[in-house]
Amino acid sequence: MLGLPGNIQALLFDLDGVLTQTAKVHAAAWKQTFDEFLRQRAQESDSKFVPFDEVADYDEYVDGKPREDGVRSFLSSRGIELPEGANSDPPQAQTIHGVGNNKNQRVLKLIHDQGVEPYEGSVRYVRAARDAGLPRAVVSSSANCRDVLKAAGIDDLFETIVDGVVAERDQLRGKPAPDTFLAGAKALGVEPSSAAVFEDALAGVEAGHAGHFGFVVGVDRVGQRDALKKHGADIVVDDLAELLEQ
């Protein structure tokens, strides 16, 4: 009924791009943040400004990763190193945390201004899983996960949330490491081999594969079907509702 192997006993869902239409909001916030940073740096060094690509750069360097890891990853791709700084750094600080806080400030404004819409196919799927008696968790690198779920009106569909706040508290490595998904499976009381992972990010499907989960579903929202399979997805769908038809 749910398009899953018979041994699957629990479901672990990523948030942005799987449950809610916020991946494009994050990509826009990253572009605003990095373009401002890169433009200023180009002006100061009298060099060419090369903007952040909100498709290619977003997918490769920041999608699905904890915020600071995304900052490090992208800036490293441009040969840029910054001091780490601290969580309390202001958004204008030229530090990893400062750039990350700048992005977070922007994404919160975009979410506030635009609202949050869930994917209807995903909502149908999660409700079907609930009706079938399968426990469900959200596993996201976002520190704003609970607020986004509430804004989308779907916070009551999940028993457990493992988000950026939990990851920092419990010192869990971010995706592509499997730590947060493993924590989600543990919270639901199942072994990884009995849990399915649902991810749209390359780092996320890689985490599901690395954690030896029973089934990894890649959700292709941006035309990266082959890449999702290459990084560890057992199956790739355009929308979770497709699984209800199998």
By three-state DSSP, how is residue 244 classified? helix
Q: Where are the alpha helices (DSSP H) in the chain?
A: 23-45, 56-57, 67-77, 96-114, 120-131, 145-152, 164-169, 179-188, 202-210, 225-230, 241-244
**How far is Cα 110 from Cα 105, in angstroms, rounded to an integer?**
9
The catalytic residues are 14, 16
**How far is Cα 155 from Cα 144, in angstroms, rounded to an integer?**
13
**How far is Cα 240 from Cα 246, in angstroms, rounded to an integer?**
11
What is the number of residues in the chain?
246
CB 146 within 8 A of CB 20: no
By three-state DSSP, how is residue 217 classified? strand
DSSP state of 118: B
Query: Concatenated DSSP letters for 8-49?
Result: --EEEE-SBTTTBTTHHHHHHHHHHHHHHHHHHHHHHHT---
The reply to whether omega before 66 is within 30° of 0 (cis) is no
